[in-house]
Structure 1
């Protein structure tokens, strides 16, 4: 099998799907993003797995199986940005001091996009006006010492490790012992989707998705679910914002705010969860437990709930509750180090896109849709989870010796969607969706919107 087929087989069977179903997938277009790793193959295969899950659901509702096509070039573009603003700009993605810095004995990455994460880094390094000041402060530290100090201060940092070092690290060993996607079903009762009311053109129509995710992976998953008809309600705490990502990631969703430390907001949240079909959360592994909303509570409140979750560094091991993001996991797991060797440079060389986030997002979406199928067929309510570190392992396992394809051609006008999306920031175009499933086009009922722009309630009728 080629790399894309190998990845798709691994992902789909990890989701509990039948291996022969992957034969209905056609990968179109040629070329690859420049990387030490098969990033474009990961993009095409993870999106294909999510598309397969949608078609499997249609089959479970009594409709014929279809052949699925995924354009690898468009998949790579959706792993970067699908939005093309017309006459306006998306704010910068990165805080001015976020990035890689040389320590006394190696490299470290600081992730400071959130104000409280920057404050934690400054608590350790001091406040500096620019990157030069931060670089001077970092240079006085050993990498492990600084990583430990920032993490203990409540911040986000990652020392650059090689793949060999990660494999021998206690957290790397914990990740290696976990499945790519942990799938577990339990007895379900309550609301279920009925085949008689099923719309094969909008297979997720009528389903309510409670979105407790941030940044990229989880929002990628819920954007996919919205594309096929689900009603997605995203909940953020007061004050949280992602200005560089919101226009990209809130497509198809309504976005509200709740403070889960306030009794009245907790009551609203608990009713939303009781009425949801799917909950998708991307907080640290113990975050909902600390709020009193652990897995057992969620199941007791809503026995039929499809419960899908993501964390950064895995669900066991000493770093199970560590804060993390795609760029940090690339540093920890050996990806940035392997890229450095591949590029023949003396600095960390990351993936060309935030591929761990996006791929994990489509794995989460595929798991959620498989959960709908399982519930429809009476197999029970699904709990599924994965991590960015597991997605990194999936990529690392492919090695760096299979990258013979030419570079992807540049984007052209043919890639742009024919319709304009009218957002609150201005008009924009969305590039064409990579997945072609006959009789089941992706479409979004809501344009991208600001966080907190909607009420924390389900729409009267799911669109």
Structure 2
């Protein structure tokens, strides 16, 4: 069933104001789907396809763009297959769904400060059983607000109709799927696409975290971009680093220190693209608001995201894919579909991954515009708006499950990651005359010096 994937790609491409005739080059192959109440495999193939169409456009490639719907579905989960070691568990021991006295709530405690915020409300807990007891006496809405007030992350489960009627649901529904701002000032960058490795020499400053932003920059690195990820000294996301650092340089800077601020400003001045996932106002608080960024890097292409949208009462609210699924009715719809006793989320973090590929597509569309008029530009997306895109497509049609990934689905090359040898799934997309490949293995955050590739050529 590829019509649904084409429909998602067309909807995303339209939001990006892409040339309509480019859609004729998109081919979707593969059978089977991830089991879900919603068309997750179609969203996977469609979003990957839109990013690849944008890559072909900016590179001036007129050949076919072919997405393997099955492989795209797998890339929305885990692309890495360790050899002789295990991937860490991505979830904190007390993260998850809990039943309150009037419904369900999800606690997101993967970051230590988010767990500490929840425990300031619920008391210290050593396991899920203790957390369940602490949660059970609360009303879900009151607990959500109490944890948020402490700087934590939580989401009560709402239904689709509840979210549609909620002030934030209405605000998100009125937002564009991709908001593209006016062109910025002219650029002094001499970057232009190169044959065979279209994004070689493109400098991408990556200020993103779990998970959409890193997916976007991983895609760009796959076609040669010089992606430099910057994290603060105390940030870690060890369980997913093998997935999201592929092809990147990973460094740390403390923007509270003058020397590191000077380094960051020099890096930003040399960047073609800035991708960030900070909540609205966060960069301003560091002294790098929009005006300051434009002054440092005229002509910059900038793409950013947040969780719950850019307008409405929840604009800037902390959130993650799993929380947005609870808030927007997706988890409850899954529960109803399966007649389950608890929330049933999507089988993968599809909001994150799809938004990531749409972010990559937005970067490339803005670069295409910059190549024509010399001006930078900005775009913004949100997980909640991507959720609306998925829900608007309606329930998933019955379809056999994707056949499991086998050895034939893995790239033949052994990847020497920082954790040990591994093999990666084959790329989910083929772009004529521009193979998707990564020249740098996955690495730990902070492993590198904060510098662009010496020759500007990228990996």
TM-score when normalising by structure 2: 0.98
Counterpart of 2:68?
A: 71
CA distance in 2, matches of 1:70, 1:189: 35
Residue 191 of structure 1 and its aligned partner are, at CA, apart by 2.3
1:36 and 2:37 are equivalent in the alignment: yes
CA distance in 2, matches of 1:396, 1:194: 39
Residue 36 of structure 1 and its aligned partner are, at CA, apart by 0.1
CA distance in 2, matches of 1:200, 1:57: 11
1:121 and 2:118 are equivalent in the alignment: yes
Residue 193 of structure 1 and its aligned partner are, at CA, apart by 4.0
CA distance in 2, matches of 1:428, 1:436: 22
Give the conservation status (yes or no) of the 8 Å contact 1:193–1:376: no
CA distance in 2, matches of 1:193, 1:66: 26
Give the conservation status (yes or no) of the 8 Å contact 1:219–1:249: yes
3-state DSSP of counterpart to 2:416:
strand
CA distance in 1, matches of 2:258, 2:279: 22
CA-to-aligned-CA distance 1:104-142 (integer Å, 9 cap, x gap): 100000000000000000000000121111001100000
3-state DSSP of counterpart to 1:185:
coil
1:371 and 2:372 are equivalent in the alignment: no
CA-to-aligned-CA distance 1:22-62 (integer Å, 9 cap, x gap): 12111001110000000000000000000000100122xxx
Residue 187 of structure 1 and its aligned partner are, at CA, apart by 4.0
CA distance in 2, matches of 1:68, 1:192: 28
1:354 and 2:349 are equivalent in the alignment: yes
Give the conservation status (yes or no) of the 8 Å contact 2:203–2:273: yes
TM-score when normalising by structure 1: 0.97
Give the conservation status (yes or no) of the 8 Å contact 1:256–1:452: yes
1:263 and 2:258 are equivalent in the alignment: yes
CA distance in 1, matches of 2:140, 2:30: 42
Give the conservation status (yes or no) of the 8 Å contact 1:337–1:349: yes
CA-to-aligned-CA distance 1:327-361 (integer Å, 9 cap, x gap): 00000001001111111112100000000000000
Counterpart of 1:214?
A: 209
Query: Aligned pairs, how many?
Result: 456
Match of 1:134 among 121, 131, 136: 131
Give the conservation status (yes or no) of the 8 Å contact 1:307–1:384: yes
3-state DSSP of counterpart to 1:309:
strand
**Structure 1, unaligned runs of 5 or more:** none
Give the conservation status (yes or no) of the 8 Å contact 2:158–2:326: yes
**Structure 2, unaligned runs of 5 or more:** none
Counterpart of 2:87?
A: 90
Give the conservation status (yes or no) of the 8 Å contact 1:192–1:376: no
Give the conservation status (yes or no) of the 8 Å contact 1:185–1:379: no
1:272 and 2:273 are equivalent in the alignment: no
1:445 and 2:436 are equivalent in the alignment: no
Give the conservation status (yes or no) of the 8 Å contact 2:54–2:364: yes
Q: CA RMSD in A?
A: 1.1
3-state DSSP of counterpart to 1:245:
helix
Counterpart of 2:390?
A: 395
Counterpart of 2:334?
A: 339
1:251 and 2:246 are equivalent in the alignment: yes
CA-to-aligned-CA distance 1:193-252 (integer Å, 9 cap, x gap): 455xx4121111111000000111000000001001110000001121111100111000
1:298 and 2:299 are equivalent in the alignment: no
3-state DSSP of counterpart to 1:450:
coil
